[in-house]
Amino acid sequence: MKWRSVAAAALALASAAATVLVATPASADAALRVHAQARGKFIGTALATSPLANETAYRNIAQSEFNQVTAENAMKWSDTEPNDNQYTFSGADQIVNFATANNQQVHGHTLVWHSQTPGWVQNLSATNMRTAMNDHIATVVGRYASNPTVVSWDVVNEVFEENGSFRSSFWYNTLGSSFIADAFRAARAADPDARLCINDYNVEGINAKSTAMYNLVSQLRSQNVPVDCVGFQSHLSTQYGFPNDLQQNLQRFANLGVQVRITELDVRIQGSRTSAKDATQATYYRNVVNACLAVTACAGVTIWGFTDKYSWVPDTFPGEGFALLYDNNYSQKPSYTAVHDALDDGTNPTDTTPPTTPGAPTASGITSSGASLSWTASTDSGGSGLAGYNVYNSSGTQIATSTTNSATLSGLSASTAYTVYVRARDGAGNLSSNSTSTTFTTTGGSSDTTAPTTPGTPAASSITSSGATLSWTASTDSGGSGLAGYNVYNSGGTQIATSTTNSATLTGLSASTAYTVYVRARDGAGNLSSNSASVTFTTTGGSTGGCTVAATLQTQWGGGYVVQPVTVTNGSSARTSWAITFTLPSGHTIVGSWNAVLTVSGNTVTARNAAYNGNLGSGASTTFGFQVARPSSDTSTASGYTCA
């Protein structure tokens, strides 16, 4: 059986669960990570936080096929430190936690880059920019320094032009090339055990750019600058031909004593898919994997995503697409088979050893409709690694899956006895023996008809481009079944999160978007409270705004302040309008503005261009200003400026 689709594999597991099953594929059918591990290499993927939070099919492939992950965006500067010294790690932690749960390593990407770095960094003086860089590296690398999941970092990214000169970036133009050595030293100081890489594109073949990289790495290492590794992005397109000297190029870097790795592989095709184009693409993938296999110092290959459903290619290279291993429906393409077969040398042993038997589950938090289970974890020694657990009821039906040694059951019937057991599964699909069963009885659901009290108005905090944290004053329940938790709804009444405490984390939101949400409490009998009052918050700008904003606090006094200039700088395409959003601390009110039209919704202010300053050519900027009144004891100011 080829693992054509995750659904098919899951079905096979579920249908065989009642019998004694070891769903062991033949060697040629094991997951990519099983073969890669047998060859001593990693096989990685970039992960995007939104599908990781929202799509089971995405998670299943990410965890079963890959043993290394890179955050596609969540660890970049604009995500981790959007404002000076204000760090948000929700997306980065999401990826690291996923990797930890699935026995995967994380490659940190990326610390110092000219792109996806906020405007406040770009406009600093040389002294302040160097301090900001060192602080950023110390904080971001330091956060994961003692976390064994995070093993390496792209310290600097894309520092060369195509002709081999240093890229004319704000880093280079402000600090000269010294920022490169400084960045590596700061990263080494923050985590002495992490492998530190320099990364770039169009350096796969031997050319002016890769030779400049070679000379820089050689020079830095002779100066004892801690450069451990060189990353070759490998964003390839079938229209430009395959870099046939890839292996030779990797080897010349390896001869400098550094590790090499393929960091962002994808292979674009032009126009629509045909079997001929698929075949050419598959050859490119096979060639890259074979080149890495042939070079001892090549640690592995990371692919820049895995499904064409979520690829940066169509947005970035008009007319090109279909660059990855799975199609939009998560079906494997010839490119998958090429990577698989290149990694599978036909002799490596397949993992046929199931994980150890998990402990008997214990049930807690039992309500009339659900319960939490936890159990002693299994271990896996067969090579493919522990992938997670399946939970079954007494008739052998799988009722939940989990990647950790706990699971939450929901949708149960009241006053009913449930007998459940768990089995562990590994990356090759082997299932452990059944754990001992546990029986628990849900609480009675019939007599309690009293709803909990109405919860307080939620307050939004830690707002990022894709998520936010809500918290509210708790409800109480007097009907007998007890407070069970809360549901969170959007303004259309759709339930978007649940929580068992008086706070919730929202993920997978869209950037630069206003969300209005309210909560209802629920009790153990399923009674729902009235709606709380609503709160509106606006997610910060994502990475695609095409414009940047920098705000200057011009003056302030006890009861107010003036922000000016707020400089709006356009990206590369001309535009006819712009909109800046920012957040006012509570109790602050706008008392005047100039050169923009301001609207206020809750704590969010949107400043749109005036009639005369909406047109901005490529790279052009304009300014506006505003004045705010605030309580006289308050020293906070508006923050979170984003441009759309």
Any contact of residue 510 with ligand XIL (CB under 6 A)? Answer: no
Q: How far is the CB of 107 from ligand XIL (least distance, A)?
A: 11
Residue type, 387: A
CB atoms within 10 A of CB 210: 23
In the three-class reduction of DSSP (H, G, I as helix; E, B as strand; rest coil), residue 126 is classed as: helix
In the 8-state DSSP scheme, what is residue 405? S
With respect to ligand XIL, which residue has the nearer C-beta, 543 or 599?
A: 543
Q: How far is the CB of 581 from ligand XIL (least distance, A)?
A: 20
**Which position's Cβ is nearest ligand XIL?**
312
Q: Give residues with Cβ within 8 angstroms of 637, minimum separation 6.
A: 553, 556, 561, 563, 585, 628
CB atoms within 10 A of CB 519: 31
Q: In the structure encoding, which two tokens stand for residue 72, read together?
A: 């596609």
Backbone dihedral angles phi then psi of residue 322, each to the nearest 5 degrees? 55, 45
Q: How far is the CB of 271 from ligand XIL (least distance, A)?
A: 21
Q: How far is the CB of 157 from ligand XIL (least distance, A)?
A: 5
Q: How far is the CB of 312 from ligand XIL (least distance, A)?
A: 3
Task: Tell me if 172 sits within 8 A of 159, measured CB to CB.
Answer: yes
CA distances 366 to 159, 408, 409, 414, 416, Å, are 56, 10, 9, 10, 11
Any contact of residue 432 with ligand XIL (CB under 6 A)? Answer: no
Task: Please pick, from the candidates 50, 94, 152, 157, the single residue that binds ligand XIL as defined by CB under 6 A.
Answer: 157
Q: For 567-592, b where at least 16 C-beta lie within 10 A, e where not — what string? A: bbbbeeeebeebbbbbbbeeebebee
Any contact of residue 233 with ligand XIL (CB under 6 A)? Answer: yes
Name the residue among 457, 520, 516, 458 with its Cα closest to residue 491: 516
With respect to ligand XIL, which residue has the nearer C-beta, 209 or 340?
A: 209
With respect to ligand XIL, which residue has the nearer C-beta, 236 or 407?
A: 236
Q: How far is the CB of 138 from ligand XIL (least distance, A)?
A: 21
Distance between CA atoms of residues 381 and 334, nearest Å: 31
Any contact of residue 72 with ligand XIL (CB under 6 A)? Answer: yes
Distance between CA atoms of residues 233 and 303, nearest Å: 9
Binding mask 245-284 for ligand XIL (x = CB under 6 A): -------------------x--------------------
In the 8-state DSSP scheme, what is residue 358? P
With respect to ligand XIL, which residue has the nearer C-beta, 73 or 169?
A: 73
Q: How far is the CB of 301 from ligand XIL (least distance, A)?
A: 15
Characterize the bridge pairing of strands 105-108 and 604-609: unpaired
> Which of 65, 72, 81, 158 does the annotation list as catalytic?
158
Distance between CA atoms of residues 39 and 34, nearest Å: 9
> Which of 65, 72, 204, 264 does the annotation list as catalytic?
264
DSSP secondary structure letters along 315-331: HHSTTEE--SSB-TTS-
Any contact of residue 312 with ligand XIL (CB under 6 A)? Answer: yes
Binding mask 96-115 for ligand XIL (x = CB under 6 A): --------------x-----
Any contact of residue 87 with ligand XIL (CB under 6 A)? Answer: no
* ∠ Cα 484 373 412 (to 5°): 55
166 forms beta bridges with: 160
With respect to ligand XIL, which residue has the nearer C-beta, 233 or 583?
A: 233
Q: How far is the CB of 317 from ligand XIL (least distance, A)?
A: 11
Total residues at interface with ligand XIL (CB under 6 A): 8
CA distances 379 to 103, 274, 407, 541, Å, are 11, 44, 18, 42
- CA–chain centroid gap for 350, Å, is 30
With respect to ligand XIL, which residue has the nearer C-beta, 242 or 312?
A: 312
Cis ω for the linkage preceding 631 (within 30 of 0) = no
Q: In the structure encoding, which two tokens stand for residue 402, read together?
A: 């989990």
Q: What is the 3-state secondary structure (H, E, C) of 194-241?
A: CEEEEEECCCCCCCHHHHHHHHHHHHHHHCCCCCCEEEECCEEEHHHC
Q: In the structure encoding, which two tokens stand for residue 269, read together?
A: 């095709």
- Strand arrangement, sheet containing 621-629: 547-557, 560-570, 621-629, 589-594
Within 538-567, which residues bind ligand XIL (CB under 6 A)?
A: 543
Binding mask 372-401 for ligand XIL (x = CB under 6 A): ------------------------------
With respect to ligand XIL, which residue has the nearer C-beta, 107 or 425?
A: 107
**Whether residue 65 lies in the annotated active site:** no
Q: How far is the CB of 224 from ligand XIL (least distance, A)?
A: 26
Q: How far is the CB of 599 from ligand XIL (least distance, A)?
A: 28
Any contact of residue 202 with ligand XIL (CB under 6 A)? Answer: no
Distance between CA atoms of residues 41 and 303, nearest Å: 13
Residue 275, Cβ density class (10 Å: 0-12 exposed, 13-18 middle, ≥19 buried): exposed
**Whether residue 162 lies in the annotated active site:** no
* ∠ Cα 553 91 167 (to 5°): 65
- Dihedral through CA 352, CA 354, CA 355, CA 358, nearest 10? 180
Q: How far is the CB of 340 from ligand XIL (least distance, A)?
A: 24
Any contact of residue 73 with ligand XIL (CB under 6 A)? Answer: yes
507 forms beta bridges with: none
Distance between CA atoms of residues 433 and 417, nearest Å: 23
Characterize the bridge pairing of strands 589-594 and 459-461: unpaired
With respect to ligand XIL, which residue has the nearer C-beta, 34 or 643?
A: 643
With respect to ligand XIL, which residue has the nearer C-beta, 46 or 579?
A: 46
With respect to ligand XIL, which residue has the nearer C-beta, 67 or 110?
A: 110
Q: How far is the CB of 158 from ligand XIL (least distance, A)?
A: 6
Q: Which residues carry out catalysis? A: 158, 264
User: What does the binding site for ligand XIL look like in residue numbers (CB under 6 A)?
Assistant: 72-73, 110, 157, 233, 264, 312, 543
